[in-house]
Structures are given as structure tokens and as C-alpha cells.
Amino acid sequence: MFNAFYDERRLTPSLGYIFNDRWLDPCESLVSILWKFERVNALPGHVIARLMGPNIDPYEGVVPQPDTIDIGRLHATLGVRTAVLHMALQQPSQRRRYSPIFRHCRRCMTRGYHSVLHQMECVRTCPAHHRQLEIACLRCGYEAPCVVNVRLLESPYRCAECGKSYGGGGWSPDAPRPMKAEFRKAFTRRYFERHLG
């Protein structure tokens, strides 16, 4: 990566960030998007957290919901379409509730993917792999809160308590693996069933 000077008022490097929205898959969560962004730009968690909004405490963090995240700021920084960013957020309603604990599919994590669907309480298994979603680290039993903060951001694809991988090495810009077409359909179909049905 390159060495850049930061404008402290905007927390952006003078030469800009590197990101490509083609690295994203359908229904990818904000956590997953930010992990990819962090990896490719080699940024610390407090800088990533501040990109979500100027008044966010990076160490306390926020639940990734529309009323807590500055979508315009993320769009300007990452260059990701606002529709994709809205889909990446938890949007609670009377019918949609989200787990306060970070839930994941081990097989999705091997390719560096986490879906906003994985956080929905009504979704118990991964829409693509049909495996029970995991909530605790297999080594230490830690259950991470689903709060986007420095601790979660600086532990991509692994337990923030002990460092054990949630499944493989995660995502790398050097070897991005496209999601299988049937998995893309499964996530998209389930997302629209839960949001529109």
C-alpha cells in the first residue's frame, strides 16, 4: 500500500482511499464491507469507525442502523452506491428484529463474507449453506456484540477476544473469490422476503 498524509479534519488521505464495489456481494453487512475496506487500505479501527459519522465514538461504536450511520459520508469515502449501503444496515421494524450478538456462517467467513441476514433473529441458518449460524467463538466462547467499534473492526474474520478465526483467512484483495450464482440468489431472495414479504 502507499503512504499518504491525512487531513485530520476529514480523516481521509490526500491521495484518496482504494476500494472497488465489485468486491461486494449481495446483502453484505456494513461490518463485512468495512472489514474489506480496512484490509485494502491498512487502516486502524478508529479511522474506519470515524468514517461512519464525525460524532461517533470509535471505542463505544454504534449498532449499524440507518439512524446511527452517515450514509452520505460512507458513500463519498468508499464510492459504494447508497442503495448498497442502505441494504448493509440493520433496519428493525415490528416484524424484523436483529440479534444484539454478532452471528456468522463459518463457510461464508472463509471467503470474507458476512450478511445483514445473518443478524436477523428470524434467520437461524445461512441462506446459502443451510448451516446453523454461530454466535460464540469455538475457542474461548466469547459472544461479540454486534456493535461497529474499534474492537470489532480490528478483528476482521476472527474473535475479538482470543483472535481465533471465524473460518479461514477471510477476504484478500489479491484473491477475491466471486460468490456462486445460486448463493447470490439465495441471499437476495431471502432478503426481499424478509423486507418486503
Each residue of 79-118: pLDDT tens digit?
999 999 999 999 988 888 999 999 999 999 999 999 999 9
This prediction's pTM: 0.90
| Residues 6+ away with beta carbon under 8 Å from 95 | none
Cα–Cα distance for residue pair 13/50, rounded to 1 Å: 13
Whether residue 156 has pLDDT greater than 50? yes
User: Which band of pLDDT confidence, cut at 50, 70 and 90, is reported for residue 49?
Assistant: very high
Which region, left, alpha or beta, applies to residue 116 given φ > 0 means left and ψ of -120 to 50 means alpha?
Answer: alpha
In this predicted structure, what is the pLDDT of residue 176? 81
In this predicted structure, what is the pLDDT of residue 112? 93
Give the residue-averaged pLDDT of 121-139: 97
C-alpha 146: how far from chain center: 10
Give the residue-averaged pLDDT of 160-174: 91
CB 32 within 8 A of CB 112: yes
**12-13 and 6-7: which strand pairing?**
antiparallel
Lowest mean pLDDT among 29-38, 83-92, 97-106, 173-182: 173-182
Choose among 100, 145, 144: nearest CA to 121: 100
Choose among 108, 103, 159, 101: nearest CA to 130: 108
Helix, strand, or coil here: 133?
Answer: coil
CB 119 within 8 A of CB 126: no
78's grid cell: 468508499
User: Which band of pLDDT confidence, cut at 50, 70 and 90, is reported for residue 12?
Assistant: low
CB 152 within 8 A of CB 31: yes
Q: What is the mean pLDDT of the chain?
A: 90
In this predicted structure, what is the pLDDT of residue 170? 84
Q: What is the DSSP letter of 118?
A: G
- Helix, strand and coil content of the chain, in percent to the nearest 5, comes to 30, 10, 55
Q: Identify the residue with better confidence: 168 or 36.
A: 36
In this predicted structure, what is the pLDDT of residue 197? 53
